[in-house]
Amino acid sequence: MMFVVLGDGKPVKMMVAGVHGREAATTESYLWHALEMDLDEGLLVLATITKGSKYISTLNPRYLKLKAGKKLVSLIKKFKPQIYLELHSYSASNYWRLVDPLRKIRKGVPPLIDIGDGVLIGAVSPYIRRLFSLEDFCFVVETPKGQRDNERTIEFIELVLSCRDRFEITRKLREKFPQQIKIAEEYYEEYLRELSHKTLRNSWGRNLLD
Ligand SMILES: [Zn+2]
């Protein structure tokens, strides 16, 4: 199980693998790739959450009751990252469910976006996104199951982790994936707006994002 903390200061960047089920078999290798990257400043936290656990989707609130879910939440609370990447893997048979244009209605999160080579990026579960501030950059990266060295995944991770803040990330992503990021921005602005309203309403005026 990898747990590495490198560098110091701000921004704090965190990337987690093995979020649930047996995904670590695919995703942990990207933590090792990140160790070889030339990342500028700040603190970098790389962590495998679980090597094997029950599979419960992070979109299900029961995930937070699992040992894995509790560990993930405590790491986020401890390090308070401004840049957060959550690595996942998916089976080919789930592809259409993940990019489904109606995913927002069905699952409460926008569809993931295909950036090529089967790599999908998108929003973090609202239960996890709530632990961050609106200004933080939080993304999920889904790699096809079993692909431990997917070049597109490595490229995306390196782009994100080498930036100082979400403005720099967005600018670089727009240059690299203009069409996909245009769609992503439309989805996520709406998602974040709704999430912040919902959070405020549900907590009787206490802002959980603070
Ligand atoms: Zn997953």
- The reported pLDDT for the residue numbered 198 is 65
User: How many angstroms is it from 140 CA to the middle of ligand 1?
Assistant: 9
pLDDT at 191 over 90: no
User: How many angstroms is it from 205 CA to the middle of ligand 1?
Assistant: 32
208 located within any domain: no
- The reported pLDDT for the residue numbered 201 is 40
User: How many angstroms is it from 118 CA to the middle of ligand 1?
Assistant: 15
Buried b / exposed e along 63-97 (16+ C-beta atoms within 10 A): bbebebbebbeebbeebebbbbbbbbbbeeeebee
User: How many angstroms is it from 185 CA to the middle of ligand 1?
Assistant: 22
207 located within any domain: no
- The reported pLDDT for the residue numbered 204 is 36
- Measured CA to CA, the distance from residue 40 to residue 139 in angstroms comes to 20
Nearest 5°: CA angle at 27, between 24 and 30?
A: 135
Reduced to 3 states, what is the DSSP secondary structure of residue 88? strand
Question: pLDDT tens, 58-98?
Answer: 999 999 999 999 999 999 999 999 999 999 999 999 999 99
- The reported pLDDT for the residue numbered 200 is 43
User: How many angstroms is it from 204 CA to the middle of ligand 1?
Assistant: 31
- List the domain range (segments joined by +) for residue 138: 3-202
Ion ligand 1 contact residues with beta carbon within 5 A: 88
133 located within any domain: yes
Domain count, the chain: 1
pLDDT at 128 over 80: yes
- 44, two tokens: 């970098």
Closest CA to 2 of 31, 22, 43: 31
